[in-house]
Structure 1
Amino acid sequence: MANFFKAVVKPKTSKQLLTVSVDKLDMNGVGVARWQNKPLFIFGALPSEEVEVKVIEQKSKYSRAKLISIIKKSDKRIQPQCIHFGLCGGCDLQILDITEQLNFKQQKVSYLFSRCFSAENIAKKIVQQDLPWQAPIKSSPWNYRRKARLGVQFDKKGQVTIGFRQKSTNQLAAIKSCAVLVEPLNKIFPLLKKIMAQLTVKSAIGHIEAIQADIIDSDSQGKIQKDNQIILVIRQLRPMNKADIELWLSNAQQHFWHVIVDDGDKQFPLVPLQKDSSLVLSYELADKSKIYFASSDFIQINHQVNNAMISQALTWLNLSSTDKVLDLFCGLGNFSLALAKQVQIVTGVEGVQVMVDKASKNAEFNIIDNCQFYQADLNSDWLLESWATEHVFDKVLLDPARAGAEQAVRQIAKLKISTVLYVSCDPATLARDSAILIAQGYKLDKMSLMDMFSQTKHVETMVLFTQ
């Protein structure tokens, strides 16, 4: 059979410099102007600015341009704090001060609600006039991130680049420091690059997960708690040889790191633990409960916002000692443990059995006996599951992943639970699920932003629904 090859058509570009006025930011925080009767997207440009740009891509419905210079500057513009801003794909909004970032995110949520509610024939005035916004939850806009995946790439000569992906590519930006990572994680990049240069086996590392956490180092002599430790999880594509093990050990001792190796099947400490010893990671909640987790587990990366988020959830739910609360997508028990201290019963449900087991252990470690955890696919029909029929629930908290909780909220409505607290990491699926609840007779009572990811386009939101 003959093979036919189609030539790759490169995007149309223009050598011409254009002067345009920026009208708004799109959902990703990119400036939008009009050119040739279609949107022109310009990263780094702000509304009300007049800018000089060079077109780098032309499509039938839009074009993209590179910002060359700013002719008229917005009074909302500030100097980005990170030297890698514009190249690294991690942050989008460093040119806006934190108040304007929050305004942008709130407008983004409001727009998505308006669009989704309109599609569902829900009165537009609910969104345009009456969204019950409360004060946002926020932390320091810098040095807040306690967990991050650092990319590692080797070139043909064995030279290494360590950092984060560049915007719109799979190539890494070589990072020297990261202003959103907690101390001392933000200065770890040059140290790691130096180690990589000394490895005898090149290209054997896929990535490195860097985590700040408390640890409990347990051995035959007892337990030693160490706070704010640095844990490095090295994804090894091939086994380490003796020389490279010694290199990592030497640096771990020098910099007080705890090194864990991930071989793709399992994770284990670089230094084999003695019999009956363990290395346990944890973080502490505001009420002194401890959440124990493994280096591969999902945790909320902003410690301050996480504690404030839990505190607000407890307040908004207006809990009583007789309440029976359903905690859906409960994970490790991040909300469950705090809820259990104020109510009669908490039923936590999670899709992965391993997480259910860990949540149960966390309740046990914290001497909490009014929490029960169950495994279930919350995107299926779960109304007849034993845990769903065992109690008449007064309130429900749900904290789903980005895909949202469309099936879960439909079933919550059928249970006629009077109070629903929805914690969202994606405003689009939140708007969709909110429209479902409102169509079933719920009303929007309160909502607030949670600035878990300052300097970025990512939006987290908490919404309270009542009947």
Structure 2
Amino acid sequence: MKKDRNIPVEKNKHYVMQVEDIGVNGEGIGKVKGYTLFVEGALPGEEVEVRAVKVKKNFGYGKLLKIIRSSEHRKEPSCAIAKRCGGCQLQHLSYEGQLQYKTKKVQDIMERIGGLKDIKVLPTLGMDEPYHYRNKAQFPVGKTEDLNIGFYARRSHDIINTDECEIGHPINKEIIRVIKGFIKAFDISVYDEVKHRGLIRHIVTRTSHHTGEIMACIVINGRSLPNTVTLIEALKAIEGVAGICLNYNQEKTNVILGKEIKMLWGKEKIVDYIGDLKFEISPLSFFQVNPIQTEVLYNRALEYAGLTGEEVVWDAYCGIGTISLFLAQKAKQVYGVEIVEPAIKDARNNADINGITNAEFFVGKAEVIIPEKYVEGIKADVIVVDPPRKGCDGKLLNTLVEMAPKRIVYVSCDPATLARDLKYLVEHGFEVDQVQPVDMFPHTTHVETVVKLNLTL
């Protein structure tokens, strides 16, 4: 392939560059002779030697070879596999540096995509102890020369064999040890995703932050697991294990969990709390993976809603009703809508077990249900939206504008689609009051953001 004379960088050549910024995926960004290179593992303020590994017309990618001058925020990852694992991208960056990065990330995207240049993004709310916060872990199971249980390597489905995770619950190590011993003792086959053969596919664990209850779930490519009595007795001996189950997934898919659960022993659901609210969690339930920061996020959303007890509130994309029930404690009436029917079933059950009677839930698309109910006469004073990564549907945004609530509280897991939707709402009569990032996922590039918008018309 003929080299483009306008590109000053050549593939496989070595260069020294100054790292100026950090990208949305955690890569260091710098320039070589005016040409932009993205370098995984490099940090702003560093001088580094890199090898150009991929060269495109306007930018390229480099491999970090040597740190000539180190950032004050650089630290040694506490996890031995951090550089290979796909779970964490920022363990080499101090936690203070991570919070600064996430604040700047949200600020930059608000300006670049949303055109919101006069918006002040508040400092990201972090954790006192940003380790071992995840209440759910999913361990793929496979085999090369030996049995592998661990996590996928970055940008691949190669399994890194490990039983420890710096952001997961420490009890997972003992659960994996027991199941690995069981597989080896009884020579049980494990899944080959290329051939779609083998029995055990994944191990999924869920832990309760507040009660200490643990659920262990074995995902199988079949309908039965041999010698389960032995496995049950071994897992029961682990302190905190409250439920053991099988999940059937015989589909040729990357989706981890199938739709059917069979309890082998113990509770079908474990209990956890967000604030004073109680939630029952099954292996298939959606529940925020960081309960400590979820409470921080929801309290800020509740503050932004500004409820006095007289308001009617819509909660779009309500999931299992976590935000809805938080709001119902302060609102006159809350309506939640979610397309996933089992989630709505969980939402109604969660309302019942908390004695909340002023929350009603609907199954369907938010962009369909809310306009229908608006025509029927349900007009909200406050609307909360917590959409998936793709952001709000255009029809829903139109309805929000037409309904003209006093306030909109937008909870987002993707700053880019958030900025896009905020731009539309600002252009149609709302103003952004506050933007608050919350670090739900320390040591990763992900950031949650909650935004308060007021009606100006």
- Which TM-score band applies after superposition, normalised by the shorter structure? 0.7 to 0.9
Partner of 1:183, secondary structure, is coil
Structure 1 residue 208 and structure 2 residue 203: aligned?
yes
User: 2:244 — aligned with what?
Assistant: 259
User: 1:193 — aligned with what?
Assistant: 180
Superposed, which structure 2 residues align to 1:227-266 within 5 Å? 227-243=211-227, 245-256=228-239, 257=241, 258-264=243-249, 265-266=259-260
User: 1:102 — aligned with what?
Assistant: 99
- How far has the Cα of 1:34 moved from its partner? 2.5
Determine if contact 1:137/1:448 at 8 Å carries over to the other structure.
no
Indicate which of 394, 400, 403 corresponds to 1:415: 403
Read off the aligned partner of 2:235 and give its amino acid letter: A
Partner of 1:93, secondary structure, is coil
Report the CA distance shift for 1:192/1:71 in structure 2 as closer, same or farther (over 3 A): farther
Determine if contact 2:214/2:270 at 8 Å carries over to the other structure.
no
Superposed, which structure 2 residues align to 1:46-445 within 5 Å? 46-118=43-115, 126-127=116-117, 129-133=118-122, 136=125, 138-155=127-144, 157=145, 159-185=146-172, 188-203=175-190, 204-213=199-208, 227-243=211-227, 245-256=228-239, 257=241, 258-264=243-249, 265-271=259-265, 279-287=268-276, 289-378=277-366, 380-386=367-373, 389-407=376-394, 408-445=396-433
Report the CA distance shift for 1:137/1:72 in structure 2 as closer, same or farther (over 3 A): closer
Q: Distance in 1 between matches of 2:163 and 2:371?
A: 54
Read off the aligned partner of 1:232 and give its amino acid letter: A
Read off the aligned partner of 1:174 and give its amino acid letter: N
Partner of 2:188, secondary structure, is coil
- How far has the Cα of 1:240 moved from its partner? 3.7
Partner of 2:104, secondary structure, is helix
Indicate which of 36, 41, 44 corresponds to 1:44: 41
Partner of 1:23, secondary structure, is strand
Q: Distance in 2 between matches of 1:96 and 1:355?
A: 36
- How far has the Cα of 1:60 moved from its partner? 4.0
- How far has the Cα of 1:303 moved from its partner? 0.9
Gaps of 5+ in 1: 1-11, 119-125, 215-225
Q: Distance in 1 between matches of 2:376 and 2:282?
A: 32
Deviation per residue, 1:389-434 (Å, 9 max, x gap):
3433111111111111132222111101110001101111101111
Gaps of 5+ in 2: 1-8, 191-198, 250-258
Read off the aligned partner of 2:303 and give its amino acid letter: T
Q: Distance in 2 between matches of 1:241 and 1:92?
A: 36
Identity of aligned residues (%): 27
Q: Distance in 1 between matches of 2:139 and 2:385?
A: 30
Partner of 1:432, secondary structure, is helix
Determine if contact 1:327/1:346 at 8 Å carries over to the other structure.
yes
Read off the aligned partner of 1:234 and give its amino acid letter: I
Q: How many residues align?
A: 427
Determine if contact 1:152/1:161 at 8 Å carries over to the other structure.
yes
Determine if contact 1:382/1:388 at 8 Å carries over to the other structure.
no
Determine if contact 1:419/1:465 at 8 Å carries over to the other structure.
yes
Determine if contact 1:178/1:187 at 8 Å carries over to the other structure.
no
After superposition, the CA RMSD in angstroms is 2.3
